[in-house]
Amino acid sequence: MGEEEGMSSDCQKPAKSSPKLTLLPLIALIFYEVSGGPFGVEDSVKSGGGPLLSLLGFLIFPLFWSIPEALVTAELATSFPENGGYVLWISSAFGPFWGFQEGFWKWFSGVMDNALYPVLFLDYLKHSFPIFNRLIARVPTLLGITASLTYLNYRGLHIVGFSAVSLAAFSLLPFAVMGILSVPRIRPAKWVAVDFGKVDWRGYFNSMFWNLNYWDKASTLAGEVENPSKTFPKALLGAVVLVVLSYLIPLLAGTGALDTPASDWSDGFFAEVGFLIGGAWLRWWIQAAAAMSNMGLFEAEMSSDAFQLLGMSEMGMLPTIFAQRSKYGTPTISILCSATGVVFLSWMTFQEILEFLNFLYSIGMILEFAAFIRLRIKKPDLHRPYRVPLQTFGTTMLFVPPTLLLVLVMCLASAKTFLVSGTVFLVGRLLYPLVIHAKDKKWVSFEGQEGLPPDNNQVGHYVESKLPQEDTDDSTVTLLSESASSKTQQDLSSVVVEEVLKLE
């Protein structure tokens, strides 16, 4: 009770200035938004009918999926360096209605994603502690994990960022050791084994997609990043390399050194791989690393989800209560809202959650690609501190393969997923007029009650006209291209965001 009162009173005090995220913590947060290590990739070997498709997937998929998404994020996050990320991009391109829908889909997808991590944590522990297969132990443990990690998130984003750096180092180290120990036992011929008769294409593509998406999530924290115009592209490049290596090294070691059948590769199996390669001490280390990794995954996802709600509130899309910050600079109500969603969704199975969130994420990502192209065509002079080193036609061609992948993932979804996703779309469609009505009737407080500029189609121009025109930095910023350079814009006025994206 005392803690609740303390948190409530915190929201009424002006938040003290919290430290900004720098390069290394941002790399760690992006790493945890996307990956967090090889935990959860074991299913790709099983669903792929052997090692070959799994290894090829993590070599090829990043080229036409991860890199395009990272490039989109780099350009748009530096053009709109404010909390809210893709909600701001979509609103600028298509208006506040679609911005609101994007925000709702992505927030719901993120909360579903976050519900996976306590489940994965217990999936690793149950190999050594079978009691976690029983509800009497599983349910209170899930609640305890969620509550404790939510409190850590409440204590400050900079704490989350530096914690992510330490957690990433601890989580990846045992796999580096496992890779070294496996070298004498590796037989490359094992890597090309595949039984196409046992391939589960729906499970395979869902596993690949989930383990390589969410590059755009960190954009919702852009307002909390130090010098985002330079920091974001560098952080995305570092995270791409780190994610791909964190998958390939353990998979190459485990599949190349052992004779275990593909059917044994399921969630938590890397702990057994560690035991077979290094002994009991390595299994315990991997289990501890899994626990730490899932902490990092949970923290990074909850931070992005909470600051997305904060950004939407600052745009006038949600009541001001979602933008209230604690004395630690964190959006208390937004964090509690996201944590509540995690608790209600954590009863579902890993595969159910995976398919639901992938479907919602796919719809949102297609809208982001469309917004990127629309802003390139309609607002070619929009200040872009980092610009993808391709013309608009080239970027459109770059988006074709990932868009086809997104459509494929949605087509492979089950009837249950279509039903759940359809319900989410309907709720989002009904929420928008309800929020507008609440704002018009002044039932609750919103930022900027006066609404958008008269012509919503000129939102992008309105943003552009308010951007500072002077050059603040001539240093170059690169992402996957040494020739890509830009001038750095330090901050976009929060007043501009409020004026641009308020609800009608």
Q: Which amino acid is at 321?
A: I
For 369-428, what is each residue's pLDDT tens digit? 999 999 999 999 888 999 998 998 999 999 999 999 889 888 888 888 899 889 999 999
In a domain, 6, yes or no: no
Whether residue 194 is predicted with pLDDT greater than 80 in this model: the reply is: yes
The domain tally of the chain equals 1
| 67 part of a folded domain | yes
In a domain, 160, yes or no: yes
Look up the pTM and report it: 0.76
Q: Does 255 fall in a domain?
A: yes
Residue 390 parent element (H or E): none
Express each pLDDT in 30-54 by its tens digit: 898 888 888 878 889 999 999 999 9
Does residue 190 lie in a domain region? yes
Mean pLDDT for 302-319 is: 88
Model pLDDT for residues 259-282, shown as the tens digit of each residue:
889 888 987 789 899 999 999 999
Please name every residue paired with 225 in a beta bridge, in sequence order, or none if there are none: 21
**Other Cβ atoms within 10 Å of 1 Cβ, number:** 5
For residue 7, tell me if it sits in a domain: no
Given a contact cutoff of 8 angstroms between Cβ atoms, the answer to whether 31 and 168 are in contact is yes
Residue 87 pLDDT greater than 90, yes or no = yes
CB atoms within 10 A of CB 299: 25
Q: What percent of the chain has pLDDT over 70?
A: 82
Q: Which of 185, 189, 195 is nearest to 53 (CA)?
A: 195
Q: d(Cα 420, Cα 425) in Å, to the nearest integer?
A: 9
The per-residue pLDDT for 185 is 93
Q: What is the CATH number of the domain that holds 319?
A: 1.20.1740.10
Phi and psi at 306, nearest 5°, equal -70, -45
From the number of C-beta atoms within 10 Å of its C-beta (0-12, 13-18, 19+), residue 245 rates as middle
> How much is the CA Rg of the chain, to the nearest whole Å?
22
Question: 229: domain range?
Answer: 23-500
Q: For 377, what's the count of Cα atoms within 13 Å in the CB-facing half-sphere?
A: 12
Is the confidence at residue 460, as pLDDT, over 70? no
Any domain includes 403: yes
Q: Does the residue 414 lie in any domain?
A: yes
